[in-house]
Amino acid sequence: MMFRFLLIVVTLSRSSSLPYPAKENSASFWKTSGDEAVMDAVEKFENINKGVAKNVIMVIGDGMSLGTTTAGRVYIGQKQGELGEDHVTQLDRFPHIGLAKTYSLDHQTPDSASTGTALLCGVKTRSGMLGVTGNAEKCEQSTENHVYSALEKAIKKGKSTGIVTNTRVQHATPAASYAHITQRRWYSDRRVPRKNRKNCKDIATQLFEKRLGIQVILGGGRSPMRPNNVKDEEFPSKKGERLDGRNLIKEWEMDLNKRGKEAEYVWNKEQFMNVDVNSTDYLLGLFSPYEMKYKLDRFKDVSGEPSLAEMVQKAIEILSKNPKGYFLLVEGGLLDKAHHQGLARYALQEFIEVDNAIEVARAMTSEEDTLFLATADHGHMFTFGGGAVRGNPVMGLASSQRHPTKALDLRYFTSILYGTGPGFSIYSKTIPVRKSIKPWEIYSKSFRPQSAIPLNAGTHSAEDVVVYASGPMSHLIHGVNEQSYIAHVMFYAACLGEEYKQYAHCQNQSSLSEKQMMESKITTEIEEDGFEPEAETEDI
């Protein structure tokens, strides 16, 4: 009898305890919150900003699918002691959103090179290619088939530009803003086939040749910039990879200093934090030989690395000195790397890095003159659901971590799953039986949610991605569009290109006074160096 009494008490206790605030049971709660949201939307659409975007910031969460942003929202909320589902991320605060179709010319499921080219250059191309149209069959055809990015168009307009990433700066996404090449993996000349080296410039060389036009470069990627006989300053056992003997980092410093610029190269966090933004014209920060550390592993880096948000803050402080404005590209690229490895907790932590960077950037800028775009280049085969109850740990077992559900094979499963990747596991080599998950396993940061198909690395998804926008002309982000449309919104909003002079908002731009230009500490010598969007040049 005592056991039956205790069982009844426990049952009653569970049924009377709600997993959510009691006020949410009331219709008045949802009416009030709904009315407030409607009035907020009415105000936003009554005050649409149709002015010129002086500044443009584009943040790309590499592989940041809708499932990732949803799970990331819950993850952040739960880390802050909330249930999680009703948390509001920085992405959630953007007033305008739309969807972008991500396919490339030759692939239903795209890669970061073709999507980066679409987002930044306004042209769909074939997978693996950067800054060129699909007509470029071989690298020698890159010049005649190249297309110009928002960054390059901003340079032509006299704006300052910057690139921030936590991957190598030669990675496909940032490279799409400055490189024109048919193979995304030609980071240095060593990676270019011998027969192509004479006529095809590697990505690191193309970045160096645009040194005058790009004031801030922050990320990883020291090795592709150095010869193979030069030791890395942080990891002496590692050397550069260039075969041409050029040390592009030293050349960058020497050339800019010779031109009278205050140019600084840094490779660790202490040096980075000590950079004086007021006296620095150009900043090159390369914090690892290749990719930077995941946030969860950053403590292992003895020399220290800045966060994505810290790099964004420094970049804006330097770029905003130009009275003509700036273009800044930010990539949270480690999110994609984590998804490929099936490391969901790492991926969600990298989502927080992106969200934090957006928060910093929006706090430092104004919607009056800054077009802010945030999106993904593509998604991943990442799902989040499983019938989980409200407030269930985002990495937990479905449908409840306390009372998990067993699938038809009598084994537990998690709310997060991957369609493909290294998380596939079987209990026996002879009988294909799924490995059982222990409830405590999910708390390990290296826990891999199971995948349906065994692959060494998870694949991208072919789904549309969400585009978030605020600032001048941000209302143009709407509905479902080709991914290449996003670049044209930037071109139009910031009047990037001669063809946009015909539009009224571009004709009404207020011109800078000579005094403003004289007071500017960022000099724009692009015209002096002969940069024209219609022709290749080395010194931009």
**CB burial class (10 A; 0-12, 13-18, 19+) of residue 502?**
exposed
Tokens, residue 89: 């991320």
Distance CA 253, CA 32 (A): 59
Q: Is the dihedral of CA 91, 96, 98, 102 positive or negative?
A: negative
Tokens, residue 118: 């679409």
Distance CA 483, CA 99 (A): 8
Cα-based distances in Å from 361 to 16, 25, 215, 355, 469: 44, 37, 17, 10, 13
DSSP 169-219: TTSHHHHTTT--BS-TT--SGGGS-GGGTTT---HHHHHHHTTTT--EEEE
Distance CA 508, CA 311 (A): 34
Count the neighbouring beta carbons within 10 Å of the beta carbon of residue 73.
22
Q: Which of 236, 146, 223 is nearest to 536 (CA)?
A: 146
470 as an active site residue: the answer is no
Cβ atoms of 223 and 249 closer than 8 Å: no
Which residue intervals of 427-534 are DSSP H helices?
A: 485-493, 504-507, 514-519
SS3 category, 223 = helix
Distance CA 423, CA 451 (A): 5
The residue type found at 378 is H
End-to-end CA distance of the chain: 85
Look at the block and give the residue holding tokens 């809708």.
66
Cβ atoms of 373 and 468 closer than 8 Å: yes
Catalytic residue among 17, 28, 33, 112: 112
Residues acting as catalytic residues? 112
